[in-house]
Amino acid sequence: MRSRGSGRVLAEHVLRGVAVVALTVLAVRLWRAGPAPGDAVVAPNALDSALVQWTANPPASATAGAGPAPSARHRDWLLALRRNGTTIRWRSEDSSGSALVVEDAPLPGLPRRIRFRSQPGTSVMLSDLLGRVDSGTVGASGAMAWRASPVGAASAVSARAEPVASPRDSLAVRPVLVLGQAGWEGKFVIAALEEDGWRVSARLTVAPGAVVMQGPVSRIDTSSVSAVVLLDSLSPVEAPRLQRFVQDGGGLVAAGPGTRHPAVRAIVTARVSSSAPGVLGALQGPAPREGLATRTVRAGTPGAIPIERRGNDPVVVGQRIGAGRVVVAGYEDTWRLRMAPVRDDAPSDHRAWWSSMVASVALPRLLPRDIGYIDEAPFAATVDALGRPQLAGADRRAGPRLPWEALLLALALAGLLAEWASRRLRGQS
Amino acid sequence: MSEFVFATAQYESGDWDSAPLVPANLIDSIARYTSIPVAPTGAVVPLASSDALRFPFLFLTGHLPVRFSEQERGTIRKYLDRGGFLFIDDHNHDIDGAFHKTVTEEIVRAGGPLVRVPKRHALYSSFFQFPDGPPNTSHELNGWGDNLLHPELSAVLRGDRIALLYSNKDYSSEWSYHPENKRFSSVDNTRFGVNIVVYALTR
Amino acid sequence: MTTMERVLSTRRQLTLVAIARSLVLGVSAGLLVMVVVTMARIMRGSDGGALGWSLAIMASLVTGLSEFRRLRGPGFSVPRVSLWIEEHAPALQYALVTAVEGGGPAELDRSVAAVDWSPATRRAARRALAWPVLGLMGCAALLLVSDAVAPVVSRIAGDTRGTPRGVAGELDVALRVTPPAYARRDVAVLRNPSVVRALVGSEVRVTSPANAIIALEADRGGVPRTSGPASWRVGAQPVALRVRSGDASRLVTIDPLPDSAPVVVLREPTRDTVLADPSGTFTLGADARDDLGLRAASFEYIVSSGSGESFTFASGAIGARAFGGTATGSIAGRLSLGALGLKPGDFVHVRAVATDLRDDTASARGASETRTIRIARAGELDSVAIEAAAPPEADKAILSQRMLINLTEALVRRRPRIDRATLSAESGRIGRDQARLRKQVSDIVFSRLGDDPSGEHFHGDGHQHEGQELRPALTPDELLKAAENATVAAAGAVLDFEGDETPVVAVNRPLLEAYNFMWEAGRELEQSAPERALPPMYRALDAIQRARAAERLYLRSRPPRAVVDVERVRLQGKDRGSPAAREPRAPATGAARAALARFARVVGLAAADPAAAADSLLLLRIDLLGAITPDAAAAAAAAADALRRGRDAGPGLAAFRNALGSGVQVADSLSRWSGIR
């Protein structure tokens, strides 16, 4: 019969053996998962030093490890190595790609329109030279959008990629021409646009032959006006000229009585109903436009898109005509959105609504600009430069897999710890 | 498009209704000289109520001391900030009169500092031309009241725009007559009122 | 293991302990030097990173080597180690040295072998290392927190002693801020501040430690200078001061702290009052408070007498009390109406006013709400129209027009089944109810028109205008005749002011219509013809509903009555206007975007020229002061300070950028179509 002490010694041997076996299996797994002999593989975070090393002593082949797609600098370097004779491969954990686009919005002051595309559910942090601007999770559409003014280039940091982007073009926005009768609507529409930074030309009729003018008297054409806002049905506008302006890319917003202007009806064959009252008390609610009297706008032209509805009836309709855009808004007396609500942000809401409506049709002129470092779509650019990636884990079965390496390491450590503890407890160091 | 409504501000202190025919007279003038759609009768709106925000033009007058309540001050502040136009006229036009003394104090408290409106201001050319500034009233010319000709009006500005126009020339007396009686005048003395309204509607 | 081997093992252990202790103490000394250098660097706003590292390494080397030399002494020889062991293990009875040197008896070796001195060695090692390790940890912790502690220390030091130096190229200055005497606040001395917050009226005197000649000029704002060339009086507007001395300069911005006007609350009287009799006494009470101290408070009253264009005013003050600088205070008083000599129709306006310690009396005054006491005119209290109040409750005895219609319709349906007498009786009863209702309507109309002495020709301002003709008021009969004219006019027809019809009639037209239709319906009902009565009854109901839909105002005074026939007078004026051109408005949100663009340029400049970036940021801050939150202003000031001191300005810049409103994520229908917002 074995003594108790010898049993304990045996157990210690067993534990030591288990640890050795676990470490051996771990080493074999890691070795088998590694690259083919002669292939230099490097993790993404060690790519910088590896590139220096590969440049000094070029290996036969090299693989950039799985992780976010290489940056533009790394990509160019890897491409140079390939051209020098090294076989370059790269790995990626997903093939969806992520991309970021930043462009100026045709609004005064040119805030930027930022759009990010990635897999639904991707967490992304939008940042710029100063740090975080915003963060969020990509929705089911696979896209996110911001309007912001980043300082320097913007980057969208996610686990999949870190695209960097800045606008490729500057925009020049010409003045907006507002036509209407002297009244609150004209006054407050012009105020909203000017306060938001638009340059406005205006013609407000006070009496026959008495018009309050602002800005130079110029023809309605795309060389001098980016958009026309028509607020009444009487302002003297030649329909063919307005039609040609829109066809050439100019924008047109017809609102309230302006929807019945003959020139507008010549461009958009919309059926505009008579005015119906707004919902009582809605001006003070969360959707104040519900409180405005409005006309229903049913566009007869194909391609018209209802932008806002009152119930089932479209009240704001957008349409592309030729190279231009037209918005027909049935709302009457939108100045009430600014004056009537008790909420403090009513003026800024009114301003933003009118400004965005005009911006949605205004014709911007593109001016190429010098851009610094950008890397808008790292995945696509790397595929373009280095070919398609080896998909890390593509040969493995689908579904969740156990972390065998971690388990084996834990097993080895536990065996060694138990063996050491047993020895210490029985008095042997 | 809604009509222009000439609204009179009703305030708690004083006699806000001291010039009841001014609205009709100016409505008549607006119709007579412009094509601006205008409501045939004026409205009266309490200054303490948020209903005042429904009327971007308000006329306020009186003889008696004016002491706005906190609620009235709040409405005026919001009204001016949003682009409303408040025309205040001193119907008392007496030397250092109680209306002038109290209302100017209240204007500063509610709306901000009063500045002089220069004679070349757009107000004097917004429709009719008044190169010499505000037209004098018969009360000034006849030496009634404070026996002074007030050469300038005052205003509270928002940006570079007049948001509150203050007059101590007593247009309330000058314009408070039945519009039909204009036919007896060689020069319509309400033409400056048209300028004020057109300025409010277009600037 | 022999005795010699055991001693040699102990020697190795002791050597290792000595090395470890020296290392730990050396590193601790280095860390301590780093802590001191970091604090000094942050407080002085200088870089000094390389110097700090050099000092730390030197301190480490010197301390470590000194300690090792001290411990090692002449060397770790076997006899010295044996002696050390004998000293720490008394059980050896000083036999170890002998045993190690050899030559001793065998018993000696055995007795030495029986003694285990390893616990004593471990104890000694622990003692030698415990405190140095704790010291090392403490120094490391200090170094970690020094970044957080240093700004606080810096602020304290800056407020009191003011030691920090500016970065190279910027003028080293000290600012002595003396608040106005009335504020009773201490003088503050600041060294190289980016932003100074000072009470309006304070004097800011700029000096240079090198006694250089200082000149001041305002980059922004226009504040009056005081007597000396290097001092400035803080005005109501913020100012950016450029302090120059020779070629060096420094930008300092001054944020004025306005002294608030006293806040006064009138406790009594609690509401406006109308009195029938101008006698009696009102108790007055008010509380006042001020941020710096009250000077005095009193009650002010204005008595207004008269009517029309003829008013007189008298004013006075009662209940005055001096406070001499206390933060809060109360006043009380009594207002005797009899002593004021009030007459019916007079007004008394009462309010409390308080002044603070400023000399500028206009802005130093705070006033309470005003209460109005009015003395009713003779007979006024008999009228229902004197006060703004809800209309009186309807007379429940009177049937409504709708109920009368219902009764009449029921009578018409029952007519084939009832005899003539019953029809006549019931029709007559409805007719009498209709008459009572008509009377009610006529009362309303006549209360608005009938006793009015002025009609549409009332001038309202109590005096007659030249060239304007006064006509006598219409009698009720004339008004009714006018009403007849009005009601026979076609719906929507233009009213003719030049006939007998008046604007007064036009305003009341719906009620007058109802009145006439009721008259007609009543006549038919009296004649036992209910089916003929129904059409006018419907029209009367319609007219009443139109009258109800009209704007109802319960005013203290009479409502405006004139209605203008806009279409008739449209463009009939003799004169033609020629409006001047409109000038554009200044941008509001556009200005914020412009500020963001300026801010982007500041950030772009930060790496190349931090001092210039700091100046630009301070100027941007001062341009936006008032339009941005205090937190944003503080963030900008902190960022400018960090830029000047060579520290990380990122957090401050980011906070300022966020305050300017940089990121908006919007998704609405318009943005989906246009992609704009």
Q: Walk me through the domains of chain B, giving residue ranges and CATH numbers.
A: 7-202 (3.40.50.12140)
Shortest distance between the Cα of A97 and any Cα of chain B, in A, equals 48
In this model, does residue A206 exceed pLDDT 90? yes
pLDDT computed for residue A117 by the predictor: 87
Task: List Cβ neighbours of A144 (8 Å cut-off, separation of 6 or more).
Answer: A115, A116, A124, A136, A138, C665
User: Cβ(A51)–Cβ(A78) under 8 Å?
Assistant: yes
CA distance A101 to A376: 6
CA distance B130 to B139: 19
pLDDT computed for residue C464 by the predictor: 38
Question: Is A394 part of the contact surface with chain B (CB cutoff 8 Å)?
Answer: no
Low-confidence ranges of chain C (pLDDT < 50): 45, 47, 151, 154-168, 227, 383-397, 450-473, 486-503, 551-560, 663, 665-668, 677
- Count of CB pairs separated by less than 8 Å, A with C: 146
In degrees, rounded to 5, the angle at the alpha carbon of residue A199 between the alpha carbons of residues A193 and A205 is 75
pLDDT tens track for A31-68: 765 554 456 777 777 888 888 888 888 888 888 876 77
pLDDT tens track for C98-143: 888 776 677 777 888 888 888 888 888 888 888 889 988 888 888 8
CA count, 13 A, side-chain hemisphere, A429 = 0
- Of B82, B126, B127, nearest to A338 by CB-CB distance is B82
C510-527 as b/e: b if 16+ CB within 10 A: bbbbbbbbbbbbbbbbbe
CB contact under 8 A, C676 and A106: yes
In this model, does residue A338 exceed pLDDT 90? yes
Q: Which of A179, A185, A187 to mutate to test the interface with B (most CBs of B within 10 A)?
A: A187
Q: Chain A residue with minimal CA distance to C594?
A: A109
- Of all residues in chain B, the percent with pLDDT exceeding 90 is 70
Q: Which of B78, B86, B201 to mutate to test the interface with A (most CBs of A within 10 A)?
A: B201
CB contact under 8 A, C593 and A149: yes
Question: Is C676 part of the contact surface with chain A (CB cutoff 8 Å)?
Answer: yes
ipTM, two decimals, is 0.96
Shortest distance between the Cα of A186 and any Cα of chain B, in A, equals 7
In C, which residues are within 8 Å of B23 by CB distance? 560, 562
CA distance C641 to C151: 11
pLDDT tens track for A354-396: 988 998 899 988 887 777 788 888 888 888 888 888 765 544 4
> Does an H or E element contain A124, and which?
strand A123-128
Kindly state the average pLDDT of the residues A106-134.
81
pLDDT computed for residue A95 by the predictor: 66
User: Cβ(C215)–Cβ(C230) under 8 Å?
Assistant: yes
User: A318 is written with which tokens?
Assistant: 């957008």
pLDDT computed for residue C548 by the predictor: 63
Q: Is the dihedral of CA B67, B68, B73, B79 positive or negative?
A: negative
Q: Which residue has the higher pLDDT, A30 or A313?
A: A313
pLDDT band, very low/low/confident/very high, at A245 (cuts 50, 70, 90)? very high
Dihedral pair phi/psi, residue C432, rounded to 5°:
-70, -40
Shortest distance between the Cα of B202 and any Cα of chain A, in A, equals 5
Q: Chain B residue with minimal CA distance to C582?
A: B203
User: B196 is written with which tokens?
Assistant: 């004020």
- Of B36, B54, B56, nearest to A182 by CB-CB distance is B36
pLDDT band, very low/low/confident/very high, at A397 (cuts 50, 70, 90)? very low
Domains plus CATH for chain C? Answer: 3-152 (no CATH), 174-257 (2.60.40), 263-382 (2.60.40.10), 401-458+472-553 (no CATH), 589-674 (no CATH)
Q: Chain A residue with minimal CA distance to C674?
A: A360
pLDDT computed for residue C583 by the predictor: 94
pLDDT computed for residue A122 by the predictor: 87
Shortest distance between the Cα of C582 and any Cα of chain B, in A, equals 7
Domain pair A99-168+369-376 / A171-367, same fold? no
In C, which residues are within 8 Å of A213 by CB distance? 581-582
Q: Which of B32, B51, B139, B184 to mutate to test the interface with C (most CBs of C within 10 A)?
A: B32
pLDDT computed for residue C670 by the predictor: 59
Q: Chain C residue with minimal CA distance to B73?
A: C369
Shortest distance between the Cα of A74 and any Cα of chain C, in A, equals 25
CA distance C543 to C509: 9
User: Cβ(B128)–Cβ(B195) under 8 Å?
Assistant: yes
pLDDT computed for residue C147 by the predictor: 55
Q: Which residue, among C52, C53, C65, has the nearest Cα to C26 in the 3D structure?
A: C65
In C, which residues are within 8 Å of B129 by CB distance? 578
pLDDT computed for residue A194 by the predictor: 92
User: Cβ(C673)–Cβ(A307) under 8 Å?
Assistant: yes
Task: Please report the residues numbered 151 through 180 in chain A whose beta carbons come closer than 8 angstroms to any beta carbon of chain C.
Answer: 151-152
Minimum mean pLDDT range among A215-224, A419-428, C429-438, C440-449:
C440-449
Q: How many CB atoms lie within 10 A of CB C580?
A: 14
CA distance A294 to A256: 7
CB contact under 8 A, B24 and C570: no
User: Cβ(C71)–Cβ(C49) under 8 Å?
Assistant: no
Q: Which residue has the higher pLDDT, C501 or B37?
A: B37
Q: Chain B residue with minimal CA distance to A178?
A: B202
Shortest distance between the Cα of B46 and any Cα of chain C, in A, equals 10
Instruction: Assign C541 to helix, strand or coil.
Output: helix
- Count of CB pairs separated by less than 8 Å, B with C: 167
Domain A99-168+369-376 -> CATH class:
mainly beta
Q: At what angle do helices C476-488 and C420-449 cross, to 10 degrees?
A: 110
Q: Is the dihedral of CA C225, C228, C230, C231 positive or negative?
A: negative
In this model, does residue B36 exceed pLDDT 90? yes
CA dist list (Å): C295 to A319, C127, C236, C364, C600: 68, 70, 21, 9, 48
In this model, does residue A146 exceed pLDDT 90? no
In this model, does residue A221 exceed pLDDT 80? yes
Question: Is B51 part of the contact surface with chain C (CB cutoff 8 Å)?
Answer: no
Shortest distance between the Cα of A175 and any Cα of chain C, in A, equals 12
Question: Is B56 part of the contact surface with chain A (CB cutoff 8 Å)?
Answer: yes
* CATH of the domain spanning A171-367, picked from 2.60.120.10, 1.10.3720.10, 3.40.50.880, 3.30.365.10: 3.40.50.880
Shortest distance between the Cα of C313 and any Cα of chain B, in A, equals 7
CA distance C651 to C654: 5
In A, which residues are within 8 Å of C670 by CB distance? 307-308, 316, 318, 356-357, 360
CB contact under 8 A, C663 and A105: no
C600-619 as b/e: b if 16+ CB within 10 A: bebbebbeeebbebbbbbbb
Instruction: Assign B124 to helix, strand or coil.
Output: helix
User: Cβ(C194)–Cβ(C154) under 8 Å?
Assistant: no
Q: Is the dihedral of CA C82, C83, C85, C90 positive or negative?
A: positive
CB contact under 8 A, C670 and A212: no
CB contact under 8 A, B64 and C304: yes
CA distance C193 to C203: 16
- Of B1, B126, B203, nearest to A333 by CB-CB distance is B1
Question: Is A347 part of the contact surface with chain B (CB cutoff 8 Å)?
Answer: yes
Question: Is C453 part of the contact surface with chain A (CB cutoff 8 Å)?
Answer: no
pLDDT computed for residue A396 by the predictor: 42
* Boundaries of every domain in chain A: 4-92+379-425, 99-168+369-376, 171-367
